[in-house]
Structure 1
Amino acid sequence: MERIKQRLNKQNTLDHVLERKVDDQELELADDSDAFSKTSSELDVDITLRLKLSTSNNSIDERQILADATKFDDIDKSEDNEDTENPLNGQTVFEIISTDTVKDRHSNYVVYRILLTKSSVVDQNPVIIERRFSDFEQLHCDLNTQFKHYMEQVVFPKKRLFGNFTPRTIAKRSRAFEQFLTHLYSIDEIRFSQVFLEFFYLTDLKEAYNLMLDVEYEQSITKFQKVLLIQEKMLGYLNVLIGETLCALVSCCKTVEDYTLALKYGKQALKCYTSHEDNRFYLPLIQTCIHLCWKVGEDKEKLEEKLQQHKRDSGDIPTLLSVVHSAVLL
């Protein structure tokens, strides 16, 4: 009996120690506060998104796989596909995967590498962008001017007099920036605003168009492809802004005689203009796709019917490349 009591006492002591360790760990985690927001809701969103991404290997269904595999199917099939069924829908996850401290003659700064992925599937096309603290700071300033009501709940991490380049400060800022972007993305008015979108792809888009205007088509295709990946993460799948990028890709690929790739982008672009047939890109795009179908030996009858329906009142149709050029120069 005495031995049994001793064992029970030891077990109770062990349980008490374990409980105290758990309490200490929880206290330590609770004390690791973020200088990001006045509430903890953004952190909850961030954790939820990460959980979705980490479990997506087991949750992807056959419909999502089929949607991804037939992403560039014939346009007559696309009319039956709802945008909500496309695997590019779902939340975008922002994760800072690495940083670099850059030293030059005038100043030191930290480069943050941000990984963009979609949480709804195992993202086969993640994309990485690089931004500095000053880029985040400018974004916060611009949004605060345009969306003051929404930005009142966001506390932006400020620069410090000392210790801006310590691993601890950089790590805490990385976490804060992830939550910052997640929070902004959750507000539709901000998510689709020009200021927010330009933070992600404006630099690459300008460079892509400049390369195209300089007749550096191969290099511009690479840049436009990166912009397209970012836009799909931020805007979904069917969007006129994505349509413009796709039209630029069609024009560049056609110029370098990669007709198969040009037609693939052309079909996707036509989906973006399903509800925007009055858009200036639409008829030149159809005309170009007809020519590309002829080049690769695909049926072009339905496209020709679509063109004839609109052509009667449109007069001469400019080339797609000229429309893309004029859009850049305006």
Structure 2
Amino acid sequence: MAELNQDPVDPAETAGEHLSGSSLTTKELQQNLKLMKRGHRLVRVLFEIPSSRIVQQPLSKHVVYQVMVMRSGSFDSHRVWVERRYSDFFSFHHKLQEEFQEELEDVLLPRKLLTGNFSPENISERRLALQDYLAQLFSTHCVRHSPQFPAFFTEPELKRAHVLLRAGQFREALELLQTVLEIQEKLLPWQKSTLTVPTLSALAVCYRDLDEPEQAFGSAHKALPAVRRYGPRSYRAALLELLVDLGYQLRRPVAQLQDELTGLRDAERGEVSFRSLKEEVIQQFT
């Protein structure tokens, strides 16, 4: 298992923010800092590839690796996993090198094997090497903060989920979207706050069409704060519209949400094409 302590808030910086300009003595500041450090648990992201399997197809076969992501420390220890082939790692590495060639000079992807790809020894060795590779990537600041990093863990599942969603197979789409959301939330300390907005919106659409208004309202409400602060604007109106509609259905207080939606539409009339949340979600991967 690869374990890393990374970017989240330094207690010293936090102490400085809260205590600067105060009348505390140096000794008191030091004591407060010690207390803060004692109660502070570093966030750790762990990558593990615990298993693999051989997939036999009519004309070919390949190995898929189970890739687990876990965030521990002051957050959670729940593991979530996806499956990736070596070719997925290879494509990912090539994209990263195009953007971060100098920074990744010492980060090596395990090489392709010309023979023995399916021997248990080689599979086990490659599994551990790929696990170490992910840890090295994440220890590289520019990669850790690149949108390509979470995309490696989520993009295939997101695309399949949206195919299912467009086909009306909402229950099947939900399972994939929940996996995507869990991974995105584990990576959020190093990614933009809007990373989960499309996923939460897709979940809200699925729950709405499955006639599960409580879950739909919860997903949309969870996405709204990041959209309010950072955008995109088109999602904000669509989320508000869904929340108002569901709020009336659930007998929730929605006057404030309705006022916000009305004000948004008045302010942006003619500038923004207002679509429903379902239209926004489907547009994401069209």
Same fold (TM over 0.5): yes
- The answer to whether 1:318 aligns with 2:275 is yes
Determine which of 246, 260, 268 is the counterpart of 2:214.
260
CA displacement, residues 14-56 of structure 1 (integer Å, 9 cap, x when unaligned):
xxxxxxxxxxxxxxxxxxxxxxxxxxxxx9xx3556xxxxxxx
SS at match of 2:237: helix
Does structure 1 conserve the Cα–Cα contact (< 8 Å) formed by 2:4 and 2:44? Answer: no
RMSD of equivalent CA atoms: 2.6
Q: Percent identity?
A: 28
Q: Aligned partners of 2:285 and 2:274: how far apart in 1?
A: 19
Counterpart for residue 199 of structure 2: 245
Determine which of 158, 168, 174 is the counterpart of 1:205.
158
CA displacement, residues 307-329 of structure 1 (integer Å, 9 cap, x when unaligned):
23323223384322122223332
- The answer to whether 1:116 aligns with 2:73 is no
Aligned length: 246
Does structure 2 conserve the Cα–Cα contact (< 8 Å) formed by 1:247 and 1:285? Answer: yes
Determine which of 41, 44, 47 is the counterpart of 1:91.
44
SS at match of 1:203: helix
Counterpart for residue 286 of structure 1: 240
CA displacement, residues 102-157 of structure 1 (integer Å, 9 cap, x when unaligned):
34454443221111111225736421111122221222222222211122111222
CA displacement, residues 275-310 of structure 1 (integer Å, 9 cap, x when unaligned):
125521001111211111111122223322322332
- The answer to whether 1:139 aligns with 2:96 is no
SS at match of 2:49: strand
- Choose between structure 1 and 2 for higher RCO, CA contacts under 8 A separated by at least 6 residues: 1
Determine which of 178, 193, 197 is the counterpart of 2:131.
178
Give the aligned residue type for 1:257. D
Does structure 2 conserve the Cα–Cα contact (< 8 Å) formed by 1:266 and 1:289? Answer: yes
Counterpart for residue 258 of structure 2: 304
State the 1:93 CA deviation.
1.1
SS at match of 1:270: helix
Does structure 2 conserve the Cα–Cα contact (< 8 Å) formed by 1:238 and 1:272? Answer: no
Does structure 1 conserve the Cα–Cα contact (< 8 Å) formed by 2:43 and 2:75? Answer: no
- The answer to whether 1:328 aligns with 2:285 is yes
- The answer to whether 1:158 aligns with 2:111 is yes
Q: Aligned partners of 1:91 and 1:286: how far apart in 2?
A: 35
| TM-score for the superposition, normalised by structure 1 | 0.67
CA displacement, residues 224-256 of structure 1 (integer Å, 9 cap, x when unaligned):
222211221233497223111111111221122
In structure 1, the gaps of 5 or more residues are 1-42, 50-88
In 2 relative to 1, CA 47–217 (structure 1 residues): closer, same or farther, beyond 3 Å? Answer: closer
Does structure 2 conserve the Cα–Cα contact (< 8 Å) formed by 1:94 and 1:116? Answer: yes
In structure 2, the gaps of 5 or more residues are 6-41
